[in-house]
Structure 1
Amino acid sequence: MTDDNSIRLSRRKVLGGVGAIGLASAGAGLGTTAYFTDTESFTGNSLEAGDLDLFVHVDYSEDQGSYAQYSTPPGTFIDGNVVGGGDGEPISIQVTDLKPGDSGEGEFCFSIVDNPAYLWICGALTENAQNGTTEPEQDALEQQYDSIPAGGQLADAMTVTISYCTEQESDGETTTVIGDEIVSGSLAEVMAVLAAGVPLAGDGDADAPVANRPTFEGVDDETHTAETCLCFEWELPPEVGNEVQTDSVAFDIEFYAEQARHNDGTLNPCVDAAYSANYVNPDGIAQPIPNGVAHVDVAYGEEHVVYAITFDEPAGSQYSLADPNFASANFSLPFDVEDDGTYDFQVAWNVDGNDAFHYSGVTSAPAWAKDTAAGWSALPSGFTAVRFGSQAFVSVPRSELETGGNAYGFGFNASAGGEQPSVSIPTGGPYSSNANWTSSENSQPETVQ
């Protein structure tokens, strides 16, 4: 081939030529019935609901010296109560011949089959009985009380601690490692807290917020458990005396699981009624608390009605109602047993400026000039009140509220003192001319359920 017949193509011309050929090809294809086809199909489709089944593995033992040692059989577990499902099978542990110095411990581990879930623990003190008195018991009680209390003292004498824990294996042996403490105190105090519900964090962080907290992972079947467990320890301290002779206590513990998907974990399955109100920030204060809300949740137990008070406010707020170090902050729960517009008694925190709960009989609106000289006293037998951080729990015997029937009124009022923020939740009334204590027209008396 000579130079005259040579075809010289630059890269630009080559690409252009290929393009032309491609277009010609495409045009030819469109002009005929021949073309490429492809088909993908999806057959046999179905939708199936998932599962959420809670199993609680229980290990328990007690130390009563040479008298006895109770323990659950290896691998004991119960079919737990699942939100949206049926009640689980209960397991009962009974301790007899309890003496000062006795103790016990239990471990609860969880199998939430198939799906991760939020977990709650609930509880109730169902019995705190006196069961008569022996002579030494009567002598001890007469030294402490003006008259022999109808209820027992054992629930106040026993100490309980509930903590997160994990199991670790080393050299073929399993060791339980105690983690963050969830709640501790007397049995009466701990059961008052559990009655209002405690949200559990799947990573064992006791400071985790309630909303969107770490969940407990789902497992394949009930033989496998989540990494985080709960440990329950109790003791009747050696220094307890004759005042608890013949007494007996009984309590319930329940666990609830709720699927994590499409939920934030804030639904409390343990309470029966819930009230809330916004903080009132008077004009002129230096730093009003924005979006402060007080909640009062109510749980009706067989023997006690528990009120859980929560101050929901931004951390570090000035004039905080939740800060126990702010001496002028106080709050009170007054009760109108007959629902006749007159309060019969109230339970208040921060009497005389100390971090403690006191009791007073009242015949009109509560007075905030609270001191022991004005008639405030220690809580009567059967009442329990405890505070943890921004929460407080007040447990009132049902017998105190059923005196006038099954309907009664109660209120809640809190103040940081002076012209600082306050909050009020009235549920019946009106009870006084004070605007803070006058209920709305839609308010109804509480009913003991």
Structure 2
Amino acid sequence: MTDDNPKLYDLSRRKMLAGLGAVGLASVGAGLGTSAYFSDTESFVGNSLTAGTLDMSVTADVVAANDYWVDQGGLDVSVVADSADPVVGLQVDDIKPGDWAIICFEISVGTNPGYVQVATENFAQSGGVNPEPEQVEEGDADNDADLGEALLTTVWQSYDDTSGDKAGLSTLDPVFNNASDLLTIDYAEPDEDGVAGSDAHYTNAVEADAVLSGGYIVKDDNGDPMIVSSDADGSDPEVADTYEFCLLLELPFEVGNEIQGDGISFDLVFETEQVRNNDTPFANTAGN
């Protein structure tokens, strides 16, 4: 059989091939649209971030006092400060030479370790009434405020609860008891209870405020800021479960009439800051 029209044959063949090529391209395009890549999926679900807490409580107990103050009930103090609301502390009238009291503080910080700072605020002195004996003692009618320099305000590291008197105090805190005397009275001699050693210095209220008014950061035995945490188990000597100290307030027998009617007032403030990521605790205050 012969091809009567070769050109017609060639044209039909080209068209056929072109049509097959179009179908082939269409098939390749369809293949690209339906193929699946290897894949895998992993998930972390239920994520949450919660800020930690830092909570401190301070307990103050009058553990001992002379008989007069005990009988008057003016030292019936056992309070806990554990909220933002201030707690009314010691309020005593009619202090006379020979009166004394010991107040012990226990500071506790929660499971998040914290540094502790103690400070006095609003320290004020008043001349009060100015009776004739005070005027005679001072040699004029001026009504100076002298109680702050006469009232001993010493900090002790511990107290033996079984003693019931000043003999239960042991170890003067060196930070609060190393200033020079502002009084002419020699308090270095042992008193009637034999508390003081021959080289001891008794800090008065004015001197104590000079230390505390700028804020005092509680230190450990190495002089570093102490870490306090209720999680302390004794395995780390640098972490304490609580911090305790005792404050002796005493108006010595040697003080004369110059303090009659005088008074002092102050706030005692406790603060804590986190230990973590805190190389300079209380840097925004005047802490020592």
**TM-score, normalization by structure 2:** 0.63
Identity of paired residues, percent? 29
Change (3 A) 1:40 1:51: same
CA 227–218 in structure 1, closer or farther in 2 if over 3 Å, else same = closer
Q: What's the offset of the Cα at 1:134? A: 1.3
User: Deviations 1:325-367 (Å, cap 9, x if unpaired)?
Assistant: xxxxxxxxxxxxxxxxxxxxxxxxxxxxxxxxxxxxxxxxxxx
Structure 1 residue corresponding to 2:72, chosen from 68, 74, 83: 68
Offset at residue 270 of structure 1 (A): 4.5
Aligned to 2:217: 199
Q: Which residue is 1:418 aligned to?
A: none
Structure 2 residue 86 is matched with structure 1 residue 79: no
1:163 alignment partner in structure 2: 156
CA distance in 1, matches of 2:285, 2:142: 30
The AA in structure 2 aligned to 1:106 is I
1:185-222 Cα shifts (integer Å, max 9, x gaps): 11111012100111102xx42x514xxx33112459xx
Question: What is the rounded CA distance, in whole Å, between the counterparts of 1:125 and 1:149 in structure 2?
Answer: 24
Matches of 1:156 and 1:56 in 2, distance apart?
27
Structure 2: which 5+ residue stretches go unaligned? Answer: 1-39, 163-167, 178-202, 233-239
- Secondary structure of 1:46's counterpart equals coil
d(CA) in 2 for partners of 1:104, 1:166: 12
Residue 150 to residue 266, structure 1, CA distance change in 2 (3 Å): farther
Distance 2:77 2:87 in 1: 13
The equivalences for 1:197-276 within 5 A come to: 197-201=215-219, 204-205=220-221, 208-209=223-224, 213-219=225-231, 226-268=241-283, 270-271=285-286
Hey, what does 2:191 align to over in structure 1?
none
Give the conservation status (yes or no) of the 8 Å contact 1:123–1:191. Answer: yes
Q: C-alpha displacement at 1:250, in angstroms? A: 0.9
Structure with a larger share of its residues in helix: 2
Q: Unpaired runs of 5+ in structure 1?
A: 1-37, 81-86, 170-175, 272-296, 298-309, 311-449
SS at match of 1:183: coil
Q: Report deviation, 1:233.
A: 0.9
* In 1: Cα distance, 2:63 partner to 2:169 partner: 16
TM value normalised by structure 1? 0.42
Find out whether 1:100 has 2:93 as its counterpart: no
| One-letter amino acid matched to 1:78 | A
Distance in 2 between residues matched to 1:114 and 1:56, nearest whole Å: 15
- In structure 1, how many angstroms separate the alpha carbons of the residues matched to 2:227 and 2:148? 32
Are the aligned partners of 1:164 and 1:228 in contact in 2 as well (CA < 8 Å)? Answer: no
Change (3 A) 1:167 1:136: closer
User: Structure 2 vs 1, CA of residues 64 and 178 (structure 1 numbering), >3 Å: closer, same or farther?
Assistant: closer
1:50 Cα deviation after fit? 0.6
Q: Is the 8 A contact 1:103 1:234 kept in 2?
A: yes
**Distance change (3 Å), C-alpha of 1:180 and 1:266:** farther
Choose which of 45, 49, 52 in structure 1 pairs with 2:47: 45
Question: If you compute each CA radius of gyration, which structure gives the higher value, 1 or 2?
Answer: 2
Per the TM alignment, residue 127 of structure 1 is displaced from its structure 2 partner at its CA by 2.5
> Contact (CA 8 Å) 2:108, 2:243: kept in 1 or not?
no
Higher strand share: 1
Deviation for aligned residue 1:148? 4.1
The two structures, once aligned, show a CA RMSD in angstroms of 3.2
- Assess if the C-alpha contact under 8 Å between 2:153 and 2:208 holds in 1: yes
SS of structure 1 residue aligned to 2:119 = strand
SS at match of 1:188: helix
Q: Is the 8 A contact 1:121 1:255 kept in 2?
A: yes
